[in-house]
Amino acid sequence: MSPDDHLQIRACAERARDAARTLRRLDAARRHAALEAIARRIDDAREAILAANAKDLEAATAAGLSAAMVDRLRLDPPRLAALSAAVREVAALPDLLGPAQENRVRADGLVIGRRRVPLGAIAMVYESRPNVTVDAAVLCLKSGNAAVLRGGREAAHSNAALLDVVRDGLEAAGLPRDAVQGVPTAERAAIAELLRHDDCLALAIPRGGEGLIRHVAEVSRVPVIRHYKGVCHLYVEASADLDVALRLSIDGKCARPSACNALETLLVDAAVASTFLPRLDAAMAARGVRLRADPAALSRLPRAEPADASDWDTEYLDLVLAVKVVAGMDEALDHIARHGSLHTEAIATRDATAAARFQAEVDASVVAVNASTRFNDGGELGLGAEIGISTTKLHAYGPMGLESLTATRWDLVGDGHVRAPVTDPE
Amino acid sequence: MSPDDHLQIRACAERARDAARTLRRLDAARRHAALEAIARRIDDAREAILAANAKDLEAATAAGLSAAMVDRLRLDPPRLAALSAAVREVAALPDLLGPAQENRVRADGLVIGRRRVPLGAIAMVYESRPNVTVDAAVLCLKSGNAAVLRGGREAAHSNAALLDVVRDGLEAAGLPRDAVQGVPTAERAAIAELLRHDDCLALAIPRGGEGLIRHVAEVSRVPVIRHYKGVCHLYVEASADLDVALRLSIDGKCARPSACNALETLLVDAAVASTFLPRLDAAMAARGVRLRADPAALSRLPRAEPADASDWDTEYLDLVLAVKVVAGMDEALDHIARHGSLHTEAIATRDATAAARFQAEVDASVVAVNASTRFNDGGELGLGAEIGISTTKLHAYGPMGLESLTATRWDLVGDGHVRAPVTDPE
């Protein structure tokens, strides 16, 4: 990068810091008005957004991207309508900020309260669909934060058009355009350069493949929310209702295999292997799912391929499922402790003691009993919206809603309260 | 470091990870018993601890450490009694872990609950007094976490003796000794080597000077709780009760100047400068406090030295106070936004509007109205105990009690709940 790039990125970080300071001071009504203005602009600027998106689609097709990738990039009138509707939904969520809550009075009269405050300026680095540009901006603004956005190159035109729309909406509502910014240069080195400025940026949220997230965690001086991968298991325990186990397997693997909460490995108790595996085999074959099985499972799954050691740590993101027969709960828990990703783990069981032990001992952001791994999602869990999923326990664990974009700090009110007695010096 | 050091540190991280898995499974009574056993061992091993401490004191005196530093190192029977009493106090705090709370049932019958879980294995890197060895171990254990401790070299013998006591207590209660470990090598490079292992360690907490904290934040792949420094301000607003302002100034600066919540800069409204500054001058002169003043304050503070630009960002940790006259609230807020450290900020005022504006606009983990900056302390704020103070808003903001050593995750219970309808394939 050129020296000028360095200066421009520094200036971007400083503008974000300053805009965050302005946002802190705004009341909920002002933030709400900005979100409404953004939603309106999305509706009004449909033609310009679709024209920008057409350029990305053309380039993607020319570059030979898969049909699935091109579809992820695509915007069309229904998707844009859903996007502005999502903005209005976020606008309508309860506001979290404001004066101190939970006030209590100490015996000496000091009043102690807690106030929910924005984090400041948040850097989002993502590879995902262009609607993330709007979703991320709007969740940051709703929670009083400024945002610096760095989307994927393949969506560059769409992201730029959506960024213009967001900034026009901010301006229309009398908020600083710099409350949401793009990174000034498209080079990959700009990510590391931006994330040096921990005096301006409060948080970095990477969204995308594990490579991107490890890169951000490696280069950033700014604290990073990490979501490495989702290697989610379902343990079909000896007492399981096998109809339930099959439903959870099908939903977990087939409904949306590219999602991080999709099922990757099935652990089948030896006690039910001979009855369950043939049913699994038929159900997965009918849905085009390839199975990769350990030796014990292979004997019941004639169509499966033999799994190798790497399968147990692989997030396939595809219609592939690893299957292993385990001797019982101990082996299932050991396997999950070794290969789990702190994302989502599930058990199918009719035994309340087994369910309680699984929930007590498994380490994951969501632990489900007789429910699909696919419920690890901010919307499903009642958070209203989601800016990412954390698979470390720091700051947030699991889906991150608006509350994860805030912190609580302490407000004290006294009338001259001191800790040590103030006396005249001898 | 030698290849053997690398292996030993890796083994230490892996043992901590495994011990953390054992700790997760223990109920509150078992953790409580371990803490009681540790307290008892501290009482029983007094002679051995004091003998080890004598070696550190001798080395410190020989190395010419200041009397204040030597005093920080010193253990004696009353301090050991206070230490074991502190362990029993932590043992008596309410337990945070356990089965899911706040259960709610969705319309489709899926039960959603949240469970508080330990973080895992926590690395503490500190320069402080040897009692931190016990305090940190006990707070980690109480909250179900394993600990890897790396204390300062000057307290090496004392820390080793206290670590033995803690591990003996663990063993006596039937818990793994490896739930609390020291780092196997004393070299500084061991810190970076340890903090590479983010697959084993959940969190790093550095405690000490800004240099140590920046070093840890720079080298760590493990998420770090940052507490850079406390440049705390008191703004004496135009309507302030000047008796209150003086009390807060004296308590803030003089009660414990080496504390991070001590007052470093006084911002005095021009409207009260001529009445307040002479009183401040007399009070501070009587207590041996040197003043460093901007030109406007200098004219009222004949004994002060002129401040230079670096004073406004300096944490003196000493009987030195910077003083600046400001035109009003806007200038005070600008000064704090530029030079504050997100630690503690205070205002002396009798004007409710001014107080509300200060609390709404100032960004700090504690914002105090007519109360001393010294109240930013886990004990004072009712957290029961404190493992550190965070000056970023990530994970924790301000003093960190037991809750900051835990996370909440989601427990789901269904009866075959799936997100997408499971139908027969066409």
Q: Spell out the domain ranges in chain A.
A: 3-226+392-411, 232-375
Q: Which of A383, A410, A424, A426 to mutate to test the interface with B (most CBs of B within 10 A)?
A: A410
User: What pLDDT is stored for residue A236 in this prediction?
Assistant: 98
**Residue B305 structure tokens:** 């030295």
Which positions in chain B touch A370 (Cβ < 8 Å)? 413-417
A320-326 and A263-269 beta bridge pairing: parallel
| φ and ψ of B422, to 5 deg | -95, 110
Residues 6+ apart with CB under 8 A from A302: A281
Average pLDDT over residues B390-416: 94
CB–CB of A222/A125 below 8 Å? no
Whole-complex ipTM: 0.90
Q: Three-state DSSP class for B407? A: strand
* Interface contact flag, B410 A376, Cβ < 8 Å: yes
Mean confidence (pLDDT) of chain B: 94
Chain A residues touching residue B115 (CB < 8 angstroms)? 359, 367
Question: Which residue in the block uniquely carries the two structure tokens 């690395």?
Answer: B123
Q: Tell if the CB–CB gap between B398 and A411 is shorter than 8 Å.
A: no
- Which percentage of chain B shows pLDDT scores above 90? 83
Confidence at residue A386, expressed as pLDDT on a 0 to 100 scale: 87
Smallest CA–CA distance, residue A61 to chain B, in Å, is: 30
Q: CB neighbours of A191 closer than 8 A, spacing ≥ 6?
A: A125, A150, A183, A215, A216, A219
What's the DSSP call for residue B248? H
Two tokens, residue A199: 């005096």
Residue type at position A315 = E
Burial of A101 (0-12, 13-18, 19+ CB in 10 A): exposed
Closest CA to A181 of A142, A139, A124: A124
- Of A206-215, A243-252, B309-318, B327-336, give the lowest mean pLDDT range: A206-215
pLDDT value of position B1: 83
Total count of residues recorded for chain A: 426
Buried residues in A41-76 as b, exposed as e (16+ CB within 10 A): bbeebbeebbebbeebbebbeeeebeeeebebbbbe
Has residue B423 got a pLDDT over 90?
Answer: no
CB-nearest partner of A371 from B287, B363, B412: B412
CB A235 within 8 A of CB A245: no
Amino acid B143: pLDDT: 97
* pLDDT attached to residue B386: 87
A9 vs B184: which has the higher pLDDT: A9
B65, B397, B405 from A398: Cα distances, Å: 48, 20, 17
Q: Please say whether the beta carbons of A378 and A390 come within 8 A.
A: no
Residue B185 in this model has a pLDDT that exceeds 70: yes
CA angle B218, A125, B220 (to 5 degrees): 15
- Number of neighbouring beta carbons within 10 Å of residue A424: 7
Neighbours of B349 (CB within 10 A): 25
Kindly list the distances between the CA atom of residue B138 and the CA atoms of B38, B92, B143, B180, B225, in Å, as whole numbers in the listed order: 9, 12, 9, 9, 18
Cα B84 from Cα B90, distance rounded (Å) = 10
Which residues in B lie closer than 8 A to residue A363 (C-beta atoms)?
Answer: 21, 24, 117, 120
Relative orientation angle of helices A329-339 and A352-361, to the nearest 10 degrees: 20
Contact A24 B363 (CB under 8 A): yes
Full DSSP string of A378-423: TTTTT-S--SEEE-SSSS--EEE-GGGGEEEEEEEEEEEE-SS---
- The Cα of A255 is separated from the nearest Cα of chain B by a number of Å equal to 6
Mutate to test the interface with A, among B394, B400, B406, B423 (most CBs of A within 10 A): B394
**Res. B258 pLDDT band, cuts 50 70 90:** confident
As to burial, measured by CB atoms within 10 angstroms (0-12 exposed, 13-18 middle, 19+ buried), residue B366 is: buried
Which residues does residue A388 pair with via DSSP β-bridges, in sequence order?
A: A400
A-chain CB neighbours of B363 within 8 Å are 21, 24, 117, 120
Contacts of A416 in chain B (CB under 8 A): 241, 243-244, 247-248, 370-371
Nearest to B410 among A104, A112, A366 (CB): A366
Assigned superfamily of A3-226+392-411? Aldehyde Dehydrogenase; Chain A, domain 1 (3.40.605.10)
Query: Among all residues of chain B, which has the CA nearest to that of A368?
Result: B412
Q: Classify strands B121-126 and B203-207 as parallel, antiparallel or unpaired.
A: parallel
Whether the predicted pLDDT of B22 surpasses 90: yes
Q: Which residue from A98, A80, A92 is spatially nearest to A36, judged by alpha carbons?
A: A92
Task: Say if residues B23 and B146 touch (Cβ distance below 8 Å).
Answer: yes
Looking at chain B, how many residues does it have?
426
pLDDT of amino acid B273: 98
Helical H segments across A26-76, by residue range: 28-44, 46-62, 67-73
Going by the DSSP 8-state scheme, the letter that residue B224 receives in this structure is: B
**Mean pLDDT value across residues B374-383:** 93
Q: By three-state DSSP, how is residue B15 classified?
A: helix
Name the residue with tokens 């959603």. B112
Task: Collapse the DSSP code of A184 into the 3-class scheme (helix H, G, I; strand E, B; otherwise coil) and give the result.
Answer: coil
Distance from C-alpha of A141 to C-alpha of A20, rounded to nearest angstrom: 9
Residue of B24, B224, B413 lying closest to A369 (CB–CB) = B413
Check residue A426 and give its pLDDT: 65
Closest-CA residue of B relative to A112 is B381
Determine the residue among A103, A380, A417 to mutate to test chain B binding: the one whose Cβ has the most chain B Cβ atoms within 10 Å.
Answer: A417
Question: How many Å lie between the alpha carbon of A60 and the closest alpha carbon of chain B?
Answer: 30
Question: Contact, B77 vs B43, CB < 8 A?
Answer: no
Out of A221, A419, A424, name the one closest to residue B372 (CB): A419
As to burial, measured by CB atoms within 10 angstroms (0-12 exposed, 13-18 middle, 19+ buried), residue B335 is middle
What is the pLDDT confidence band of residue B426, given thresholds at 50, 70 and 90? low
Average pLDDT over residues B360-380: 95
Please report which residue ranges of A143-209 form alpha helices under DSSP H: 156-172, 189-194
Give this prediction's pTM.
0.91
CB contact under 8 A, B241 and A395: no
Q: Which has the closest alpha carbon to B321: B208, B237, B231?
A: B231
Which of A214, A237, A234 has the alpha carbon at shortest distance from A226?
A: A214
Written as six digits, the tokens of B164 are 């033995």
CA distance B417 to A244: 8
Q: How many whole angstroms separate alpha carbon B149 and alpha carbon B174?
A: 21
Gap between the Cα atoms of A254 and B207, Å rounded: 48
A419–B244: do the CB atoms touch at under 8 Å? no
B101: confidence class by pLDDT, cuts 50, 70, 90: confident
What superfamily would CATH give domain A232-375? Aldehyde Dehydrogenase; Chain A, domain 2 (3.40.309.10)
Q: Mutating which of B422, B424, B426 best tests the A interface, going by the most A Cβ atoms within 10 A?
A: B422
B261 to chain A: closest CA residue? A419
* Residues A412, B248: C-beta atoms closer than 8 Å: no
User: Cβ distance B342 to B365 under 8 Å?
Assistant: yes
CA A204 – CA A221 distance, rounded (Å): 9
Local confidence pLDDT in tens for the 426 residues of chain A: 888 999 999 999 999 999 999 999 899 999 999 999 999 999 999 999 999 999 999 999 999 988 888 988 999 999 999 999 999 999 999 999 977 777 899 999 999 999 999 999 999 999 868 999 999 999 999 999 999 999 999 999 999 999 999 999 999 999 999 999 999 888 889 999 999 999 999 999 998 888 898 899 889 989 898 887 899 999 999 999 999 999 999 999 999 998 899 999 999 999 999 999 999 999 999 999 999 999 999 999 999 999 999 999 999 989 999 999 999 999 999 999 999 999 999 999 999 999 999 999 999 999 999 999 999 999 899 888 889 889 989 899 999 999 999 999 999 999 999 999 888 886
The answer to whether the CB atoms of B418 and A256 lie below 8 A apart is: no
Tell me what pLDDT residue B363 has. Answer: 94
The predicted model gives B365-387 an average pLDDT of 93
Task: Read off the amino acid at residue B214.
Answer: R
